[in-house]
Amino acid sequence: MSACVIGHITVKDEEKWAQYRALVPATLEPWGAELLFRGASASILSGAHRHSDVVVIRFPNQAAVNHWYTSPGYQALIPLRQQAADLELISFSE
C-alpha cells in the first residue's frame, strides 16, 4: 500500500529554501518516492491554515517513508530545512 508525506510549509529564508529543495530529490530517489505536488495556498475554503505552501510526496509504502526520513542523506538536510522554513511533515498510508 502506498504512503504519502504531506508537508505544510512557511518559508523563512527563500535562498536557503531553494538550496534545501534542490537537495531533497536525491534523498527521495533510493526509496522510490515521487514528488506529486508542490504549490502555494490559493485560498482557504474552510477552517484555518497557518502555512503558505504545501508539498505532497508519494512513496511505495510506509516503510519507505520511514527509511527515507531516517536516512543519513535526509537527516543531514534537516538543519538547513529548519533555517529555511517552518515545516510540518505528516505521513499517511492507505
Amino acid 77: pLDDT: 98
Amino acid 30: pLDDT: 97
Domain boundaries, the chain: 3-93
Dihedral sign, CA of 11, 15, 19, 22? positive
pLDDT tens sequence across 36-80: 999 999 999 999 999 999 999 999 999 999 999 999 999 999 999
pLDDT tens sequence across 13-48: 999 999 999 999 999 999 999 999 999 999 999 999
Find the Cα–Cα–Cα–Cα dihedral 21, 42, 3, 69, rounded to 10°.
30
Amino acid 81: pLDDT: 98
Q: Nearest to residue 11, comparing CAs of 47, 44, 50?
A: 50
CATH number belonging to domain 3-93? 3.30.70.100
